[in-house]
Each structure stands twice: as C-alpha cells, then as structure tokens.
Amino acid sequence: MKLQRHGVVLAIAAAGALLLSACGSDPTTAGSAGASSANSPAVDCSGKKNLNAEGSSAQKNAMDVFAQAYQAKCAGSNIAYNPTGSGAGVKQFTAGLVDFGGSDSALKESETAAAAARCQNNPAWNLPMVFGPIAVGYKLNGITDLTLNGETTAKIFSGQIKSWNDPAVAALNPGKTLPATPINVVFRSDDSGTTDNFQQYLTAASKGAWTKGAGKKFVGGVGSGAQGSAGVGQAIGATEGSIGYVELSFAQDNKLSMAKIDNGSGAVELNDQTVGKAIEAAKVKGQGNDLALDLNSVYGTTEAGAYPLILATYEIVCSKGYDADTAKAVKAFLTTAATDGQANLSQYGYAPLPAEFQQKLLTAVQAIA
C-alpha cells in the first residue's frame, strides 16, 4: 500500500490558507464545530491541535488518508502517527505516551488492566476503524478466473495439494482446463499480522484441513518465504504457478490474479461490496462501545456474497480519562476518519466502512469523554 502524501498535504495546506483568507470566520477552520452533511456529522475542532498515535504498520497508509481529511476538516490540527507495530502501539498507549494506539488485534486480557490504569481507571475501548482485505494472489498463464474454498486453500498452503490440476481444485472450477503446473507457495518470511489472520481464516474455514494453528509466523511447512508484503507480491508475480496471501494493494501493484473464495454459498470475488458484507456480518465480542470483534464469525461465515478473508486494525482509546482538550481532538479525528476519511480508502487497498458498522463506530466515538 503506497501513498504519496506530501504533495497532497501541501495542496491541502494551500487550500486551507486560501479559504481562511477568503472566509476568515468559517467555523470549521476557526476551530469550532464544523459543518455537517448527510455523510459527515458535525466535528468540534476546538481541542488540542497536535495528536500523537503509534502502532500497527498495516494501517499506516489509511492513517495518512485520515490525516489529510482531518487537516481539511480542522485547519491547523495535525496527527503524528508512528507505524512501529501493534505491540509497541499498545505499550506506548498504556504508558500514556500517545493519545491512542493502533493494533492489528484487540487488547488482550493481560493488557486491559494497564490500559484502564492509563485511562484514569476507566475502560479502554477497541475501535476497529481500518479493514484491509487479504487477497489470495496467483500467477497462472491462461487462468485469470479461479475459485478456491477454505479446504482447498488450506491443503495448498500445507503442501497436500501440489499441482494446479488437482481434482479438488478442478471440482471448484468446472469447465476450465487447469494445467499440471506445480504449485509454488509463497509466504511471509517475517512475523506478520497478515500471516496470523490468514492462518486464522484457514483454521476457521477449512473444515479441519488446516491443523497447524495460527500466529504471526507461517507454519504451513511448504513453499518459499519473502520479506514483507512487497516481497511476497513480487515473488508471486515473478514465477509461473505461484500462489500467496497478500494485502489487496500489493496484489494490484504486481498485477496478480486473485482467487474468488467459495465460503459455501458460491464463489465471491474481492471488492468493496463483498468485503463490506463480511464486515457487517462480524460479531462484536466486546461490551457496550468496546467494539472488539470475533473475526472467526467472519472467517467461517457462509453468508452469500461475503468475502471472508479480511484483516481488522483497531484504534485503542480511553472511554474516559482524557483531559478535555485531548478528548475533543481524539473525537474530532476519529469522527473524521470514520466519515470523510473513508472516501479514498479503496485506491490504497482498504475497504470503506459499510453504513451500519460506521454508525456503530460513530456512536462509540461520540461517547468518549
């Protein structure tokens, strides 16, 4: 996921300066409640001007998009996001060194006490703001329309299915002549939240074919590793017969074909609508405005038209316990992220929030005190 933002930020700054000179009393740029629209509720821009956050690198490009929208909504307000990884983001948040943390997973039970202490003995909430679909990308000459399911994918990534014309793959693709080309599995060689989510999907969706467990290290025992999402995408694209798991934007960058997934209700391609349907099907396991998700409810879904292979990243925030200026700024930023900030996410490989889920988030954000 690549975002060239410097020119855009400069353009926003210039536009903001022109707007201020032309309309010096504009309420949004003046630092009070911003104008609302059908898709963008009023935003109070009167909080502190500089927010700090840290954590998940998977959402870094989305945070850049959100920052641009925030600067446009609240002129003179900024956020610095440091993509040091989920673990560091949680640690920095619980230590009170950043205003909120970014994480590829909700707070663990062992982390909730420290988070509550940081929030002046109030609960911290997990707000899933960024969703990134994971593509099963492949390169196979003459085959650009391929369907897999959880079971066949698990067998491919554990070495049980070794060639593209295996009967199990052929059964999911009637009428297609699949080559006898050996399958070359490509996986992330470094620890990765993408790997963890992919292996959780295989565990939930494979009907017992995947018995190796999950975790950030690939445990399939087959194939060749590549460093980072960029390395995986390049490796798949460089070798005929290859297949791997990678975030959508890297599959697009390397012009990979992307498998449809049959979750039991027919083949589903990866697009905003099918990912949105999966997000809507996600069950919340948190209480009240803590929106921690049970992603197994997505990975194992049989909902027609839902693409189940997604990664969710959270903003870890205090429900209460911020000083007034910080609370206003956190709410302003997250409200903008959940509304205006969603408009351009697709072009960077993320999935915009579906309306019903967006409303759940906005309800939680507005309850921050």
At 39 the pLDDT is 52
**Separation CA 240–CA 183 (nearest Å):** 9
- Give the residue-averaged pLDDT of 312-335: 97
pLDDT above 90 coverage of the chain, percent: 80
Tally Cβ neighbours within 10 Å of residue 162: 12
List the one residue out of 275, 295, 297 whose CA is nearest residue 349.
275
| CA dist list (Å): 222 to 41, 149, 184 | 50, 19, 9
Condensed to tens digits (0 to 9), the pLDDT of residues 5-51 reads 333 332 333 333 322 233 332 333 333 333 333 456 789 999 999 99
Residue 368, helix vs strand vs coil: coil
Residue among 87, 102, 62 at smallest CA distance from 247: 62
Which structure tokens are listed for 1?
């996921």
Residues 6 or more apart in contact with residue 279 via CB below 8 angstroms? 131, 298, 310, 351, 353, 354, 357
Taking the alpha carbons at both ends of the chain, their separation in whole angstroms is: 34
- The first and second tokens of residue 337, run together, are 């992220």
Least confidently predicted of 58-62, 201-205, 237-241, 290-294:
58-62
For 111-164, write each residue's pLDDT tens digit.
Answer: 999 999 999 999 999 999 999 999 999 999 999 999 999 999 999 999 999 999
pLDDT for 192 equals 84
What's the token pair of residue 283? 């069950």
Q: What pLDDT digit, counting tens, does each position of 211-220 carry?
A: 999 988 999 9
Instruction: Give 296's contacts (C-beta < 8 A, 6+ positions apart).
Output: 200, 204
Which pLDDT tens digit goes with each residue over 55-93?
998 899 999 999 999 999 999 999 999 999 898 999 999
Q: In what order do the strands lie in the sheet with 267-268?
A: 147-149, 260-262, 267-268
Looking at per-residue confidence, does 344 or 267 come out higher?
Answer: 267
Helices (H), the chain: 6-22, 60-73, 86-94, 109-118, 150-157, 167-171, 193-205, 228-238, 248-253, 272-281, 296-299, 324-338, 355-366
Identify whether the C-beta of residue 74 lies closer than 8 Å to the C-beta of residue 34: yes
Average pLDDT, the chain: 89
Tokens of 117: 């202490």
What confidence score (pLDDT) does residue 95 get?
Answer: 97
β-strands 184-188, 257-258 pairing? unpaired
Domains and CATH numbers, the chain: 134-274 (3.40.190.10)
pLDDT of residue 325 exceeding 70: yes
- pLDDT on residue 27: 31
Q: What is the mean pLDDT of residues 92-110?
A: 95
User: Which of these, 231, 101, 204, 224, lies nearest to 157 by C-alpha position?
Assistant: 224
Q: b or e along 199-223 (b: 16 or more beta carbons within 10 Å of the residue's beta carbon)?
A: bbbbbbbbeebbeeebebebebebb
Q: 170 exposed, middle or buried (CB, 10 Å; 0-12, 13-18, 19+)?
A: middle
Locate 256 and state its tokens: 């990979």
